[in-house]
Amino acid sequence: MSQKHRRIKSPLALTLAIATLTINLTACQDPNATTSDAGGQASPPSSDAASGSEGLKLGALLPVTGDLSAIGQNMPGAAQLAVDTINACGGVNGKPVSLVKEDDQTDPTAGAAAMTKLADVDRVAGVIGSFASSVSGAAVDIAVRNKIMLISPGSTSPVFTERAQKGEFQGFWARTAPPDTYQAQALAALAEKRGYKNVGTVVINNDYGVGFEKAFTGSFEKSGGKISDKSNPVRYDPKAATFDSEAAAAFAGKPDAIAAVLYSETGSLLIQAAYKQGLMEGVTLLLTDGVYSEDFVNATGKTPDGKSIIAGALGTVPGADGQALADFTKLWKEKTNKEVTAYVAHTWDAAVLLMLAAQAAKANTGEGIASKIREVSSSPGTAVTDPCKAMELVKNGEDIDYQGASGNVDIDENGDVIGSYDVWTVKDDGTLEIIDKVNPAQ
Q: How confident is the model at residue 223 (pLDDT cuts 50, 70, 90)?
A: very high
The residue type found at 113 is A
For the stretch 153-188, pLDDT in tens is: 999 988 999 999 999 999 999 999 999 888 999 999
Predicted pLDDT of residue 418: 79
Q: How confident is the model at residue 14 (pLDDT cuts 50, 70, 90)?
A: very low
Number of residues that make up the chain:
442
Q: What is the Cα–Cα distance from 178 to 411, expressed in whole angstroms?
A: 10
For the residues 113-120, what does the mean pLDDT come to? Answer: 98
Question: Under 8 Å CB-to-CB from 79, ≥6 apart: which residues?
Answer: 58, 60, 62, 99, 101, 128, 347, 348, 350, 351
Question: Does the pLDDT of residue 435 top 50, yes or no?
Answer: yes
Predicted pLDDT of residue 9: 39
Question: Does the pLDDT of residue 1 top 50, yes or no?
Answer: no
Question: Does the pLDDT of residue 245 top 70, yes or no?
Answer: yes
Q: What is the Cα–Cα distance from 268 to 301, expressed in whole angstroms?
A: 8
Question: Does the pLDDT of residue 43 top 90, yes or no?
Answer: no
Between these two residues, 62 and 13, which has the higher pLDDT value?
62
Question: Does the pLDDT of residue 54 top 50, yes or no?
Answer: yes
Predicted pLDDT of residue 441: 59
For the residues 192-215, what does the mean pLDDT come to? Answer: 94
Question: Does the pLDDT of residue 120 top 60, yes or no?
Answer: yes
Plot region of 129 (φ>0 → left; ψ -120 to 50 → alpha; else → beta):
left
Residue 53 CB neighbours (<10 A): 15
Predicted pLDDT of residue 319: 82
Predicted pLDDT of residue 6: 37
Between these two residues, 234 and 1, which has the higher pLDDT value?
234
Question: Does the pLDDT of residue 340 top 80, yes or no?
Answer: yes
By mean pLDDT, which of 67-71, 140-144, 258-262 is the weakest?
67-71
pTM for the predicted model, two decimal places: 0.75
For the residues 349-366, what does the mean pLDDT come to? Answer: 98
- In the chain, the percentage of residues whose pLDDT exceeds 70 is 88
Domains assigned to the chain? 7-178+321-402 (3.40.50.2300), 181-320+420-438 (3.40.50.2300)
Residue 26 CB neighbours (<10 A): 10
What mean pLDDT is reported for the chain? 88
CA distances, 210 to each of 109, 203, 220, 262, 337 (Å): 20, 7, 15, 11, 37
Predicted pLDDT of residue 53: 54
For the residues 246-275, what does the mean pLDDT come to? Answer: 95
Q: How confident is the model at residue 142 (pLDDT cuts 50, 70, 90)?
A: very high
